[in-house]
Amino acid sequence: MCNTDVVCSRVYEWTGNQWLANSSYWIITKPLRIIGIILAAIVIRWLLHRSIKRLTNSTTRASMPALLKPLKERTAQTAEEGQFIPERRRQRAEAIGSVLRSFVTAVVFTMASLLVFGELGFNLGPLLASAGIVGVALGFGAQSLVKDLIAGLFMLLEDQYGVGDTVDLGEAVGVVETVGLRITTVRDMRGVLWYIRNGEIVRVGNKSQGWALVVIDIPIGFINSEEAIGVLKTAAETVAESPEHQNEFIEPPDVVGVEQLTVDGAVIRTIAKTTAEGQPILQRELRRALTEALELAGLSERIAASRLMPRSAVPPAFMQPSEPDQREDGAG
């Protein structure tokens, strides 16, 4: 008899077959539960994947999604940077989205599989213990791979570098071409493409994030430093006020003064805070403008003369005779 089993009673009422009614739990109830678990897992996975995809696809907008915000404060973007989405943000979104989708799929289907095994009557205790042992063995055997993946994930979350950045990763110094969870590729100045495992990257020097500093040291010999500083400051301010370069300055340039003294005279330092993209252009332009300003002010010739002055001022009496003179004196 079916007693309190509703399905068994219904099947017996419909068919009048006692054996079929008693087997209804394994023929109908169990398969329906398993199908329900699988369908629920598929629906949950689809909903989570859709949420992740919508979150990562928001990078096509100008606003930064919360998922891709770095853990530390960054310099505010300029108006020009806000008008387009750089390649680095798109790649970060794809990589992080791929990791999250894979993680969600693994968790959801693992839980669904355990529920299905439970419905089939398997004892989950030994199964979980075996899975734990296998996981530990795989963890020991693939330590480097796990290290690379974890380092790559945190690199993406923290926005340490991205496609197009000029970075210093130790032996590899160049422009980042691709960023992945396991491998980062960097092309150096000679065109060599470096494949670097993320787990092997100990430190990162990023020359393309936020702002950059232009530092120009110009030797002025032994001329009046105040006069040279005035000429250099006027030239630097002229470059900062020019229409083609004024947007590249974050702060006005500053001639800080005498940076050091050498055997050839004083060295004047000029600094300017600029954008990372505009640093090489601005550095060349400032160097050209400062050099031309010294030449137009007539200081270049005085600088060259001042460097030669200490040598020409030595009295002839203190000069040692040359080797040919010594040989002639000895012969005489």
Structural contact between residues 187 and 174, judged by C-beta atoms closer than 8 angstroms: yes
For residue 277, the model assigns a pLDDT of: 75
What integer is the mean pLDDT of 180-197? 89
For residue 45, the model assigns a pLDDT of: 92
Where, residue-wise, is CATH 3.30.70.100 in the chain? 211-312
Those residues whose C-beta lies under 8 Å from the C-beta of residue 26, and which sit 6 or more positions away, are: none
Structural contact between residues 290 and 216, judged by C-beta atoms closer than 8 angstroms: yes
For residue 83, the model assigns a pLDDT of: 38
User: What 3-state DSSP class applies to 163?
Assistant: coil
Chain CA centroid to CA 176, Å: 9
Show the CA angle centred on residue 238, arms to residues 77 and 233, nearest 5°.
100
Structural contact between residues 240 and 253, judged by C-beta atoms closer than 8 angstroms: yes
pLDDT at 53 over 90: no
Q: What is the tens place of the pLDDT at every residue in 263-303?
A: 888 899 999 888 777 788 888 888 999 999 888 888 888 88
List the CATH code of the domain at 160-206. Answer: 2.30.30.60
For residue 302, the model assigns a pLDDT of: 83
pLDDT at 71 over 50: no
Task: Give 117: exposed, middle or buried? Use CB within 10 Å, 0-12, 13-18, 19+.
Answer: middle
| Own/partner long-range contacts of 222-227 (Cβ < 8 Å, ≥24 apart) | 222/265, 222/266, 222/306, 222/307, 222/309, 222/310, 223/265, 223/299, 223/302, 223/303, 223/306, 225/257, 225/258, 225/266, 225/268, 227/299
Q: Which of 56, 55, 62 is nearest to 85 (CA)?
A: 62
Where, residue-wise, is CATH 1.10.287 in the chain? 6-70+83-141
Task: Please state, rounded to an integer, the average pLDDT across all residues of the chain.
Answer: 75
For residue 59, the model assigns a pLDDT of: 54
Q: What is the tens place of the pLDDT at every residue in 207-264?
A: 877 788 889 998 888 888 888 889 999 998 888 888 888 778 888 888 888 888 888 8
Structural contact between residues 229 and 255, judged by C-beta atoms closer than 8 angstroms: yes
CA distances (Å), 300 to each of 231, 263, 268, 297, in order?
12, 18, 14, 8
Class assignment of domain 211-312? Answer: alpha beta
pLDDT at 67 over 50: no
For residue 60, the model assigns a pLDDT of: 46
Of residues 281 and 324, more confidence is placed in 281
What is the pLDDT confidence band of residue 76, given thresholds at 50, 70 and 90?
A: very low
Q: Which of 257, 258, 240 is nearest to 249 (CA)?
A: 240
What integer is the mean pLDDT of 144-149? 82
Those residues whose C-beta lies under 8 Å from the C-beta of residue 71, and which sit 6 or more positions away, are: 157, 158
Task: Give 109: exposed, middle or buried? Use CB within 10 Å, 0-12, 13-18, 19+.
Answer: middle
Report the relative pairing of strands 166-168 and 173-179 from DSSP bridges. antiparallel
Q: Which of 180, 211, 175 is nearest to 193 (CA)?
A: 175
Q: Which fold has domain 6-70+83-141?
A: Helix Hairpins (1.10.287)
User: What 3-state DSSP class applies to 230?
Assistant: helix
What is the pLDDT confidence band of residue 311, given thresholds at 50, 70 and 90?
A: very low
Those residues whose C-beta lies under 8 Å from the C-beta of residue 72, and which sit 6 or more positions away, are: 158
